[in-house]
Structure 1
Amino acid sequence: MKLEHVLLGFVAMRPCTGYDLKRWLASEMGRMTGLPGQQSQIYRTLNRMCADGWIDYTLERNEGRPDAKVYRLTEAGEHELRRRLAEPYVPSPDPADPEFLMRYLFTVFLTKEEQIALVRTELDARRAQYERFLARDIREEPWLPGIDRTRMVRLLDHVHDGKGRALLSHVRWLEDILKELTT
């Protein structure tokens, strides 16, 4: 999800200053989005969003400190956010891609049925991915001389096991969410 849509989603949840948005992007969860958290880029994006009419701002006077722009969603911004959230979701090959998490977070603006459909789409993709993962093809590799083949196979097994466990954990997490949403 592009930075502008993530910022738009947060401004849609509550009025925010650029500093509030930067602080969130710098948080542990914000860093997981993979989006840039540099203040200059955030403010450039906010200025562009204002020019596009998606947000506007009021100045909050701060005695002894610089005034703060408090950004709010406009009708055009709400339309843009809903347009973006209505685009079909295609799961990334990488379960760690933050697109799903951002879309899921912004289902607060959608119906429960749309939220469930998003989770099912992700869950179906991850279950299929896990099945393919389990059926991996192990073949002999032409390792260079000096590479301990037995040790290399074990290292690859460890990496594969770690990735498989992470993927299965993601599937179980999605199953828990779906169960909660549908009961």
Structure 2
Amino acid sequence: MKIEHVLLGFVAMRPCTGYDLKRWLDSEMGRMIRLRTQQSQIYRTLGRMCADGWIDYTVERNEGRPDSKVYRVTDAGERALGDRLAEPYTPSPDFGNPEFVIRYTFAIFLSEEEQVHLVRTELAARRAQAERFRAREIREEPWLPEVDRARMARILDHVHDYKGRALDAHVRWLEEILVELTG
């Protein structure tokens, strides 16, 4: 998801300043969606969003420090966010891709049925991925002679095990959400 849609989603949940947005993106939650930005990029994006009519702002006077622009979503911004969230979700081949987490973060703007559909779509893709992952083909690699083949095989098994456990945890998390949403 593009940065303007992420910022738009956050501004649609509450009025905020560019500083608030940067602080959120730098928080643990923000880092999970892997959107690394500079403050200047956020302000440039907010300027474009204002020009596009997606957001507007009021100036808040601050005693002894610079004034703050407090951004709010407009009707056009709500439509733009709704249009973006209505686009069909296609799960990435990489379950670590942040697109699902970003969309799920903004599920408050979806109907409950759309939220369930989003989770089911991700869950079906990850179950299929886990099945393919378990059936992996182990092949001989043309390692250089100085590479200890047995040790390298163990290292690759450890990495595969790590990715498999992470995928299993993601599937369990999705299953728990689905039970909560439909139970």
TM-superposed deviation, 1:144: 0.8
Residue 37 of structure 1, CA deviation: 2.5
In the alignment, which residue of structure 1 is the partner of 2:172? 172
Deviation beyond 2 Å, 4+ runs, structure 1:
none
Measured in 1, the distance between the counterparts of 2:44 and 2:162 equals: 39
Cα separation, 2, equivalents of 1:52 and 1:150: 59
Give the Cα separation in 2 of the matches to 1:171 and 1:35: 23
Return the offset for 1:137. Answer: 0.3
Residue in structure 1 matched with residue 89 of structure 2 by the alignment: 89
Question: Aligned partners of 2:182 and 2:47: how far apart in 1?
Answer: 41
Give a deviation string over 1:102-131, Cα, whole Å, max 9, x none: 100111011100000000000000000000
For the residues of structure 2 that align with 1:61 and 1:117, how far apart are their CA atoms?
44
How far apart are 1:29 and its partner, in Å? 1.6
Q: TM-score, normalised by structure 2?
A: 0.98
Note the alpha carbon deviations across 1:49-81, whole angstroms, 9 max, x for none. 000000000000111111100000000000000
Tell me, yes or no, if structure 1 residue 2 matches structure 2 residue 2.
yes
Moved more, 3-12 or 31-40: 31-40
The one-letter amino acid of 2:142's match is P
Partner SS, residue 16 of structure 1: coil
CA distance in 2, matches of 1:163, 1:4: 31
Q: CA deviation at 1:34?
A: 1.9
Q: CA deviation at 1:42?
A: 0.2
Tell which deviates more after alignment, 102-111 or 27-36: 27-36
> 1:140, 1:110 → 2: CA distance?
48
CA RMSD in angstroms, aligned pairs only = 0.7
CA distance in 1: counterparts of 2:172 and 2:35, whole angstroms = 26
1:30 aligns with 2:30: yes
Question: Whole-Å Cα distance in 2 between the matches of residues 125 and 36 of structure 1?
Answer: 27
Q: Which whole-Å CA distance do the structure 2 matches of 1:85 and 1:129 have between them? A: 24
Distance 2:30 2:105 in 1: 12
Q: Which runs of 5+ in 2 are unaligned?
A: none
Match of residue 57 from structure 2: 57
For residue 147 of structure 1, report the CA deviation from its aligned partner. 0.7
Within 2, Cα distance between the matches of 1:36 and 1:57?
24
Partner of 1:115: 115
Residue identity in the other structure for 1:154: R
1:4-19 maps to which residues of 2 (within 5 A)? 4-19=4-19
**How far apart in 1 are the matches of 2:141 and 2:64?**
66
> Which residue matches 2:47?
47
- Residues 145-164 of structure 1 correspond to what in structure 2 (within 5 A)? 145-164=145-164
Q: CA deviation at 1:36?
A: 2.7
Between the two proteins, what is the percent identity of the paired residues? 77
